[in-house]
Amino acid sequence: MRVVAGALRGRRFAAPPGTDTRPTSDRVREALFSALGSVEGDAVLDLFAGSGALAIEALSRGAARATLVERDRRAAAVIRSNLVQLGLEEAGALHVRDALKALQDASSAGDAYDLVLIDPPYRLAAGLGPPLSDALPPVLAPGARVVTESDRRHPLELAGLQLAFERRYGDTLIRIHHA
């Protein structure tokens, strides 16, 4: 895998081995960030971070900081290695924990994010809509954007956020919501 654009353009990074993690392809990341536009200065939250590809892309494109949340310890080790290899260990904070618990903790701490990236395992996405819809609002900064990636046949549905963009890339469905 490689960083598509920004300061780290062309730099390679690793994906966790096996089939448990499905990194967002270069093509989909490029299309997603083209649709998002500027992320300069944004505080980013990457839930279900996997390889960290989405947060790494945001940091390369000028995001101020990123919080990456990944429950799987093997995937988290790869993320940690990627952050170090790319010189992003200061800008990227990794939390090895459940995504919903991380949202509760962020809310309790008063943390707010400009961009939230949600790319859960496709088999779990459809069932995550209601709990994520409840947990997200307290951590969204004014004007925040929320990106979801899921299987087009079993989409991740978020209530209470305005859908601004939707596009299919094969079986992948990308949605951008506004707070």
Indicate yes or no: pTM above 0.85.
Answer: yes
Number of domains into which the chain is organized:
1
pLDDT at 23: 79
Task: Output the 3-class SS for the chain.
Answer: CECCCCCCCCCECCCCCCCCCCCCCHHHHHHHHHHHCCCCCCEEEEECCCCCHHHHHHHHCCCCEEEEECCCHHHHHHHHHHHHHCCCCCCEEEECCCHHHHHHHHHHHCCCEEEEEECCCHHHHHHHHHHHHHHCHHHEEEEEEEEEEEECCECCCCCCCEEEEEEEECCEEEEEEEC
Whether residue 25 lies inside any domain: the answer is no
The CATH number that applies at residue 81 is 3.40.50.150
pLDDT at 17 over 90: no
pLDDT digits (tens, 9 = 90+) for 61-105: 999 999 999 999 999 999 999 999 999 999 999 999 999 999 999
Residue 139: domain span: 31-178
Lowest mean pLDDT among 11-20, 79-88, 156-165: 11-20
Count CB neighbours of 32 within 10 A.
Answer: 22
Whether residue 9 lies inside any domain: the answer is no
pLDDT at 114: 98
Q: Are 116 and 147 in contact (CB under 8 A)?
A: yes
Whether residue 23 lies inside any domain: the answer is no
User: Confidence band (pLDDT; 50, 70, 90) for 19?
Assistant: low
Whether residue 20 lies inside any domain: the answer is no
